[in-house]
Amino acid sequence: MADALQWEGVVSSDAEPLILVDAEDREIGHASKAVCHDGHGIRHRAFSLFVFNRRGELLLQQRSASKRLWPGYWSNSCCSHPRQGESMDQATRRRLRQELGLTCALRPLYKFEYQADYQGLGAENELCWVYLGRTAAPVRANGNEVAAWRYVAIAELDQEIATHAERFTPWLKLEWQCLRRDFADVLTTIAA
């Protein structure tokens, strides 16, 4: 596990406006990040990135202890929200660079909607775009966002989720299940 954090910087705030969407992912308004995550959440647009190294291992991050929702949980490489007026391509590249110091080509795979409550402190209610990427660049994690990070083999992540599901964010588990079930051929290619 690597936990040397090489740079710091605040990259988002609770006041940041998120894009509210309907079930068809059509923009219907905006609300602050804090409001979107209150109660059972308000549906908003989001993305999740799964970035692999040249050995076919997936980059996982442990969420910072300062996160309101699921602090200290292991999650996919990077996840966040596009900003007003920002394309999903711009948003994914921006956040990957801000959070992990990485750049790489990202391939969109699918969208899905989920809602998950966290210990009465708020919830996620997202229409989430899922992307895959591959890089050989070194990780330079932002300590405000990431407590630790590590690369894990596909089969090893399957085993960890099966035996210690409580250590992982709900969206990672949902997305990984879909990736393994519906995109096994893509994972095989990226892991080759």
H runs (alpha helix) in 37-78? none
Catalytic, out of 126, 128, 145, 175: 126
Catalytic, out of 79, 104, 128, 175: 79
- Tell me the C-alpha distance between 109 and 184, whole Å: 12
Parallel, antiparallel, or unpaired: how do β-strands 17-21 and 146-152 relate? unpaired
β-partners of residue 106 are 133
For residue 177, how many other CB atoms are within 10 A of its CB?
12
**Catalytic site residue 126?**
yes
Closest listed residue to residue 46, CA positions, set 97, 107, 91, 93: 91
Give the position of tokens 């040397």: 4
**Catalytic site residue 79?**
yes
Give the residue numbers annotated as catalytic, written as ranges.
79, 126
